[in-house]
Amino acid sequence: MPTEELKDDAAKYLMQTYTRQPVSIVRGRGAKVYDLEGREYLDFVGGIAVNVLGHGHPDLVQAIQRQAAQLIHTSNLYYTEPQVKLARLLVDHSFADRVFFCNSGAEANEAAIKLARRYGHERHGPDRYEVITMKNSFHGRTLGMLTATGQEKVQKGFEPLMPGFGYAPFNDFGAIESMVNEKTAAIMLEPIQAEGGVHVADRDYLRSLRELCTQQDTLLIFDEIQTGMGRTGTFFAHEQLGVKPDIMTLAKGLAGGVPIGACLAKESVAAAFTPGSHASTFGGNPLACAAALAVCRVLLEGKVLDQARRMGEYLAKGLADCKDRHRIVKDVRGLGLLQGMELETDARTVVADALARGVLINAATERVLRFVPPLVITQLEVDKLIDLLDILFNQRQTAGKDSHY
């Protein structure tokens, strides 16, 4: 089906919930994807931080093929080996003792909030239900999670929202400290606010939150849906930031593109969930868990994580050097292969121009470009991105001078 015909059918039959780029992606290999007409693109979007092993990684493909031929789905009324093996692997390589599996990041965050409220109810009574999240945060688009998301533009038109949520400025411990009271069940945040413009949490801020939560028996929840699975150069981002949560959520890169979500918790917290208190029909299905096991094993072998660390540093330096060359660039920030570049102009026009030149990038906000490539990205591919940004920014600066005169 030609791209224009595909676009017409999408406009006719799909609910219009996405603003899509005018391209149809049909296949991928490594950090490159190809459209319906055969054009090649360098992928610095990675399915929005999902394709951590790149496209077509043989270990992931083979794991999916083997499991699909054996068993795709059965009910959580029965045991399945891939689910139990994946849970054990995640527990063995994290702070957590138990895992609940679901199908997406929003679902994982819903599970985290339910678990925190259930824990608060059992330990402190029914008034322990409030959750503090951060302004400018993003936790998903279910009704519960758009309430947790500290952005009015996401919430607009869906009122009344769920009760029991408050919002604090990110990286402002004093503000949170003043909000915590006997009703506070949990504090929830992203170690890096990716959708909010790529803002990294301060180490001292996180340490202070950890101490406060421990003192108050308030649960600390880390949403690592975008930052986890090697994105920042370690298995989880909080490993670099020196603070362990009570609950952590994962999704996106966990299965390298197969839908899955996970809510991890310490034993004392996880015990609040009992049979019937939470469930998911497809959560932890054999196919998704087999894919996630393959991804985790590749990451834990170390080579890809080493590559992610090296390329994260190389990308950050390349973007910082680019900033020094162009007044149009206001700031560069991030950690590992989650980098943001704040511009003095509309970032969305840069996205469109990059697409036309064969590079996929994304605008997290109107002024911030976000770069979340596969962890297997190479130095030459990063160089190609930086060279293109130089060209695009030079064009804008030249056009600005011409219009001035």
CATH of the domain at 394: 3.90.1150.10
**Cα–Cα distance measured from residue 9 to residue 6, given in angstroms and rounded to the nearest whole number:** 5
- Please check whether residue 265 is in contact with residue 272, taking contact to mean a CB–CB distance below 8 angstroms: no
Asked whether residue 19 is assigned to any structural domain, the reply reads yes
106: tokens are 């929003």
Residue 236 catalytic? no
352 has a pLDDT exceeding 80: yes
Where is the domain boundary, 253, 275, 301? Answer: 301
Convert 209-240 to b/e letters by CB count within 10 Å (16 or more is b).
bbebbeeeebbbbbbbbbbbbbbbbbbbbbbb
10 has a pLDDT exceeding 90: yes
Do 250 and 345 reside in the same domain of the chain? no
**Cα–Cα distance measured from residue 29 to residue 326, given in angstroms and rounded to the nearest whole number:** 32
Do 176 and 227 reside in the same domain of the chain? yes
Do 258 and 326 reside in the same domain of the chain? no
Asked whether residue 64 is assigned to any structural domain, the reply reads no
Where is the domain boundary, 276, 301, 326? Answer: 301
Partnered with residue 356 across adjacent β-strands are none
Residue 18 neighbours by CB under 8 Å, 6+ apart: none
Give the C-alpha distances (Å, rounded to integers) separating 335 from 134, 163, 265, 283, 316: 19, 34, 24, 30, 8
Where is the domain boundary, 249, 276, 301? Answer: 301
DSSP 58: H
Asked whether residue 30 is assigned to any structural domain, the reply reads yes
Do 293 and 322 reside in the same domain of the chain? no
Total domains in the fold of the chain: 2
CATH number of the domain at 136, please: 3.40.640.10
Per-residue pLDDT band at 288 (split at 50, 70, 90): very high
- Please check whether residue 146 is in contact with residue 161, taking contact to mean a CB–CB distance below 8 angstroms: yes
24 has a pLDDT exceeding 60: yes
Average pLDDT estimate for 396-403 = 71
Considering the candidates 95, 165, 252, 393, report the single residue annotated as catalytic. Answer: 252
Give the C-alpha distances (Å, rounded to integers) separating 307 from 41, 256, 304, 352, 372: 21, 17, 5, 29, 14
Do 214 and 312 reside in the same domain of the chain? no
**Ramachandran category for residue 200: left, alpha or beta (phi over 0 → left; psi -120 to 50 → alpha):** beta
392 has a pLDDT exceeding 50: yes
Residue 59 catalytic? no
Per-residue pLDDT band at 405 (split at 50, 70, 90): very low
Q: What is the pLDDT of residues 191-242, one digit of tens each?
A: 999 999 999 999 999 999 999 999 999 999 999 999 999 999 999 999 999 9
Do 223 and 95 reside in the same domain of the chain? yes
* SS3 state of residue 274: coil
**Cα–Cα distance measured from residue 217 to residue 124, given in angstroms and rounded to the nearest whole number:** 9
Asked whether residue 66 is assigned to any structural domain, the reply reads no
401 has a pLDDT exceeding 60: no
Do 285 and 312 reside in the same domain of the chain? no
Asked whether residue 342 is assigned to any structural domain, the reply reads yes
Asked whether residue 63 is assigned to any structural domain, the reply reads no
76 has a pLDDT exceeding 70: yes
Q: What is the pLDDT of residue 302?
A: 85
Residue 223 catalytic? yes
Considering the candidates 43, 100, 222, 223, report the single residue annotated as catalytic. Answer: 223
Do 162 and 277 reside in the same domain of the chain? yes
64: tokens are 């999916």
Do 86 and 9 reside in the same domain of the chain? no
332 has a pLDDT exceeding 90: yes
Q: What is the pLDDT of residue 276?
A: 95
Do 158 and 280 reside in the same domain of the chain? yes
**Got the DSSP string for 67-81?**
HHHH-S---TTS--H
Asked whether residue 61 is assigned to any structural domain, the reply reads no
**Cα–Cα distance measured from residue 371 to residue 387, given in angstroms and rounded to the nearest whole number:** 15
**Cα–Cα distance measured from residue 84 to residue 63, given in angstroms and rounded to the nearest whole number:** 16
Do 380 and 293 reside in the same domain of the chain? no
Q: Which residue has the tokens 């992931």?
A: 60
Considering the candidates 95, 138, 222, 273, report the single residue annotated as catalytic. Answer: 138
Asked whether residue 173 is assigned to any structural domain, the reply reads yes
Domain of residue 355 covers: 3-56+304-404
Do 146 and 227 reside in the same domain of the chain? yes
